[in-house]
Amino acid sequence: MTEDVANIHVLMQTLTLIQKTAIMEHMQSDKQVPLFSRIKKAFQWDIRWLAPGLGVKRWIGIILAGTTLVAVGFAVLLLDLYRNAPETWWLPIISALSLRFLDRTIRAIVFGGLGLLLILWGSWGLNRALLKPFVTPGKDILQAVTAYRKRERGPRIVVIGGGTGLASLLRGMKLHTSNLTAIVTVADDGGSSGELRKNMGVLPPGDIRNCLAALSNDETLLTQIFQYRFSTATGLNGHTLGNLLITALTDLTGSFEEAVAETGRVLAVQGRVLPATLHDVKLVAEIRSSKGTEPFQVKGESQIPKAAGKVERVWLEPSNPKAFPPVIQAILSADLVVIGPGSLYTSILPNLLVPDIADALKASRALKFYVCNVATQPGETDGYFCGDHVSTIEKHMGRRLIDLVICNHRFDGNLPSDGPEWVQIEPDLGERYSVYSADLIDLTNPWRHDSVKLAQVIMDLYFERTGPLMVRETYPNINPN
């Protein structure tokens, strides 16, 4: 335990040093720029506060109107005092300060211009002072406000799945919209989540933890600590700090859903993470042995990939768990529902097997995209093509559900040696479904999706099908981070 705490302390000191170094380099680079260029650059950036969509101009207009009324009232009093006061020593001073020696038009331009500059300067300084605690050091306030406004107007998107695939997608989608809802399976019974589920009686927090970390506003120090996994030597059995935190909050708040919501507030997540159901469900699979014998049952999400054979079907026990009500509301009000990526039988289907969720998906008018995995998962989808994934989902759902299938068509990376293969696209898949293929792999881990590539493809396809109902890129030259 002492060694782990020391490692966290060293990590915190290192990140703080890097952050301070970046800020100092930024300040030094600014000092090397000529004064006129710095003033010009500052003016150009300040003008961008008046760009459409930021919600700033309306408040500047109100400030100007209020200031004008105050100035008119003060001018009336001053004019009355100036006209009715006896000759005193201070009257010539007021006359000089009011620029009476100039034409009235020039005087109005001078005072009006100075007043406008002071108002804008004061508003700018006030905004900087108020927003400074909420902006990452070294990043521009305008960039932060612009990115926030852009995401705030984004479409309502529901993503269904679990595991690392869903977290990877969320990491990219949060750059486009903050109206995100992740629906996550609670059928996990392996690893740290399984231990907590068995010993503490809580729903498995692992997949939810990964999604919360992916949606966090700042995936640096706080999120790294949240994802920190203790070694087994510490007596904590390899638990992550996030799993322990969610478990502790469940005990403190009295409910798992409230614990997840509080954790999201701590991490300042962009969107929501919701459990598919609050019932303690177990995933059961019917598997046919490769030797052609009678199918047998395997209970437990973590045990299914270990069983030798082909998965025929999966179901939940109990078979009719009630969905978490906010999940149904999110699906019915969504503009787009994205199913996957993730383990087909153990991450995606456990959500769709909740009857209320299946009914809500059938009733929803949202577009429904399915993101097919880049590579097969040993023990689950060995030898599967892209169409096999889609047909499996529709077989379990009992009807055609998906509007568009998104597949990867780049297969030049090195896959791990433990069994996964590329998920290929059948030649006739386009005759059965609407299909879009693109380069979606992460070059570092080619068996996984690239978060940014995948999110951009999904948004492009969504806007292509819905038309220009909203502005896609109001400020295309600004980094959303």
- The answer to whether 455 touches 175, Cβ cutoff 8 Å, is yes
Strand (E) or helix (H) holding 299: strand 296-299
- Phi first, then psi: what are they for 411, rounded to 5°? -130, 40
CA distances 35 to 27, 28, 40, 42, 247, Å, are 14, 14, 9, 11, 55
pTM of the model: 0.72
Strand (E) or helix (H) holding 150: helix 141-152
Name the residue type at position 175: L
Whole-number pLDDT of residue 278: 93
| DSSP result, 66-127 | HHHHHHHHHHHHHHHHHHHSPS-TTHHHHHHHTTTTS-HHHHHHHHHHHHHHHHHHHHHHHH
Q: Which residues of 225-251 are buried (b: 16+ CB within 10 A; e: fewer)?
A: ebbeebeeeeebeebbbbbbbbbebbe
Is the peptide bond preceding residue 321 cis, with omega within 30 degrees of 0? Answer: no
Strand order in the sheet with 367-371: 272-275, 180-184, 157-161, 336-339, 367-371, 404-408, 435-438
- Written as six digits, the tokens of 305 are 């990939």
Name the residue type at position 444: T
pLDDT tens by residue, the chain, 481 residues: 445 445 445 444 554 554 455 445 544 544 455 656 655 555 555 556 566 655 666 777 777 788 778 877 877 777 777 677 677 777 677 777 777 777 878 877 888 788 888 877 777 777 777 666 666 666 666 666 667 777 778 899 999 987 788 989 999 999 899 899 999 999 888 777 777 887 788 888 888 988 988 888 765 666 777 778 887 655 667 788 888 888 888 888 888 999 998 888 888 788 999 999 999 999 999 998 877 678 889 998 888 888 878 899 999 998 899 999 999 999 999 999 999 899 999 999 999 999 999 999 999 999 999 999 999 988 889 999 999 999 999 999 888 889 999 999 999 888 887 778 999 999 889 888 999 999 999 988 888 999 999 999 999 999 988 865 443 333 333 333 3
Whole-number pLDDT of residue 5: 45
Say how far apart CA 459 and CA 410 lie, in whole Å. Answer: 20
